[in-house]
Chains A and B, each alone.
Chain A
């Protein structure tokens, strides 16, 4: 009997030993697969960042041309004129053209002159107007002014134009090359930090376009979205988690909320179009409607995150509060909500980050319009960052390519900082009980 047991034991040990090698091999393989997945993910992310940054970093610089402008009273207004009406209507374009003609006296034909004028941005005349409006004493003087170069010149200076292709296929012709080289020889061409990119709205001219309008639009849209979705989401979560009876109706509501979180965002755009614009008659293209639509979209995220946060508050805290005679309302406002708030905020920030990057629903409510003015409030027509990126990506000019990437970088910076904030909040307030 004893002998028999001993034999069985020996047999078991042999089998276990045989199996061990296989088990360890499996474990190793499993680990390697996991590691491989992570490496693959990191490779893709770094590809994304490298390509965006490589494409976009040049957009933060802009080529400027130095012009010696003679603020000719004949072309603007008599010396001493201060009436803004007169000053704003003066012919600054002519001023720029005249300066260009003086710099290149050899250019004579009408067509060549037109090409010559095209070396500097059409924004140059606005810049001169602003200068004169601000300081009318400039009239009659001679000033060196740095004006933005045309986007084609900018691209050439940044090396984005291949000079080996035939002239007919190039945006910069040979005669322009000659002029540019002579400007360079006189140190009249310089790359500077592109402040316009951060201070201007959209424009047809790449060198005059910026993201400020889109950033403002995104800000107003997110504010509306936050103001609506956070209180509504938290209230819904608190009711469902703390007060609602657990029955079939609340089950149905819960299932529906989870389903809503998975509804394609463009459907929310259609809903917004039908309800807010067609039924309530709210204006198109405004952050108010955008915010409302995004609030609908983020509500499920916030409700789900808030309910999870409420669930994670230990019941012992509730019992403790109820045990000293706090009413359910006091228990929630004094104890449960403060403890659940970090989780709720984390969920809200993640929802907001999602909303910030959302494009499709906003296309449906007309936020895809070309808007030059920088919106001053949630009722002004505006674009948002992702839609701006979409618009620029659609533009044919080579200079918009780098601006698209630069705008993506700005958007990613916002998203990353929002997510970092969420992580920081979570770490800071993790498990206080």
Chain B
């Protein structure tokens, strides 16, 4: 439990992303038990997923996924629609719990703590694994209250000034402070789509998570807003571990260090982004990135 709660937002010194992606030599270039090609292990994982299966009632949506998510890097999950990449992402902070028929087996560990442990409370888990959704979903409250909500319910601020500081630093890190500092009391829903999405990112980082999950964060945005978010993701990598689901292969190539390719609920191939896009090892990956289907 303890290790799940991030301490006061002080973030560990950024690790060298190159080092993080260095592969476990034993695992590389081999077909794994789950059929995944590529390097599923990293040296310094933040989260480790082993034999993860997800069922919606009788129907199995995820088959035996093994994947490590490295510290301070961006891992992108790509694949055709319905391949289970969003489902898998939502396992990482147990958002699937809200779906009655959804059942998850296997092991997902975060810093050696099994997040599907019976005794584990999802509240601290979600405080340390934040999430940004496909459609910007600010609360219908003021900009300030949107950011302050998380710190408030978790009791993170000592007093009103401290809360103000948290709000300001979160908005600054999300690159939104300059745009909204004069209208903090206006509704967050009045912002533009891209601003709303950055507001949601600021809301997620206001509770100082370790991991941020992003479920197609740019699919509802125009190219300029998308560029801003991508830039922001690259900056956030310094302090956070980010897992992003995206439909855009260009986006995956631009923002991520590692890429995982899902197909029909199976993790087909995972590896360094450059390698996946320039030299895919699996036929399905190659077909997908060359646009033969998807």
Q: Is A325 a contact of B133 with CB atoms below 8 Å?
A: no
Query: Is the CB of A48 closer than 8 A to any CB of chain B?
Result: no
Q: Is A322 a contact of B126 with CB atoms below 8 Å?
A: yes
A237-278 contact mask (Cβ, 8 Å, vs B): 1 or 0 = 000000001100000000000000000000000000000000
Q: Which B118-159 residues sit within 8 Å CB-CB of chain A?
A: 123-127, 130-133, 135, 137-140, 149-150, 153-154
> Beyond A323-B130, A323-B131, A335-B139, is A318–B98 a contact (Cβ under 8 Å)?
yes
Q: Is B189 a contact of A432 with CB atoms below 8 Å?
A: yes
Query: Is the CB of A326 closer than 8 A to any CB of chain B?
Result: yes
**Quick one: closest B residue to A318, CB to CB?**
B98
For A320, list chain B residues within 8 Å (CB): 133, 137-139, 200, 203
Q: Is B204 a contact of A324 with CB atoms below 8 Å?
A: yes
Bound Cα distance from A245 to B125, whole angstroms? 24
Q: Is B100 a contact of A245 with CB atoms below 8 Å?
A: yes
> Beyond A246-B100, A323-B131, A325-B127, is A433–B189 a contact (Cβ under 8 Å)?
yes
> Beyond A245-B100, A334-B149, is A323–B204 a contact (Cβ under 8 Å)?
yes
Contact of B137 among A246, A317, A339, A432 (CB under 8 A): A317
For A319, list chain B residues within 8 Å (CB): 95, 98, 131, 133, 137
Contact of A325 among B98, B123, B132 (CB under 8 A): B123
Query: Is the CB of A330 closer than 8 A to any CB of chain B?
Result: yes
Q: Is B98 a contact of A322 with CB atoms below 8 Å?
A: yes
Bound Cα distance from A320 to B135, whole angstroms? 10
Bound Cα distance from A322 to B127, whole angstroms? 9
> Beyond A319-B95, A319-B133, is A324–B150 a contact (Cβ under 8 Å)?
yes
Query: Is the CB of A2 closer than 8 A to any CB of chain B?
Result: no
Bound Cα distance from A433 to B154, whole angstroms? 24
For A322, list chain B residues within 8 Å (CB): 95, 98, 126
**In the complex, which range does the number of interface residues on chain B fall in?**
20 to 34
Q: In the complex, what's the smallest C-beta–C-beta distance from A256 to chain B, in angstroms?
A: 21
For B67, list chain A residues within 8 Å (CB): none
> Beyond A324-B127, A325-B123, A325-B207, is A433–B98 a contact (Cβ under 8 Å)?
no
Q: Is B189 a contact of A323 with CB atoms below 8 Å?
A: no
Bound Cα distance from A317 to B138, whole angstroms? 7
Query: Is the CB of B86 closer than 8 A to any CB of chain A?
Result: no
Q: Is B98 a contact of A324 with CB atoms below 8 Å?
A: no
Query: Is the CB of A88 closer than 8 A to any CB of chain B?
Result: no
Query: Is the CB of B285 closer than 8 A to any CB of chain A?
Result: no
Q: Is B140 a contact of A433 with CB atoms below 8 Å?
A: yes
Query: Is the CB of A321 closer than 8 A to any CB of chain B?
Result: yes
For B139, list chain A residues within 8 Å (CB): 317, 320-321, 335
B24-66 contact mask (Cβ, 8 Å, vs A): 1 or 0 = 0000000000000000000000000000000000000000000
Query: Is the CB of A46 closer than 8 A to any CB of chain B?
Result: no
Q: Is B137 a contact of A316 with CB atoms below 8 Å?
A: yes
Bound Cα distance from A59 to B48, whole angstroms? 82
Bound Cα distance from A245 to B101, whole angstroms? 10
Q: In the complex, what's the smallest C-beta–C-beta distance from B1 to chain A, in angstroms?
A: 14
Query: Is the CB of A327 closer than 8 A to any CB of chain B?
Result: yes
Bound Cα distance from A73 to B166, whole angstroms? 86
Query: Is the CB of B93 closer than 8 A to any CB of chain A?
Result: yes
Q: Is A330 a contact of B153 with CB atoms below 8 Å?
A: yes
A297-327 contact mask (Cβ, 8 Å, vs B): 1 or 0 = 0000000000000000010111111111111
Report B's interface with A, CB cutoff 8 A: 93, 95, 98, 100, 123-127, 130-133, 135, 137-140, 149-150, 153-154, 189, 200, 203-204, 206-207
User: What 15 new A-B contacts, CB under 8 Å, besides A324-B203, A433-B140?
Assistant: A245-B100, A316-B133, A319-B133, A320-B137, A320-B138, A322-B95, A323-B131, A324-B126, A324-B150, A325-B123, A325-B127, A325-B154, A326-B150, A334-B153, A339-B140
Give me the 7 closest cross-chain CB pairs, A-B, nearest first.
Answer: A316-B137, A325-B127, A324-B150, A323-B131, A325-B126, A432-B140, A320-B137
Interchain residue pairs with CB less than 8 A apart (11): A317-B139, A319-B137, A323-B126, A323-B131, A323-B132, A324-B149, A324-B150, A324-B207, A325-B154, A326-B153, A335-B139
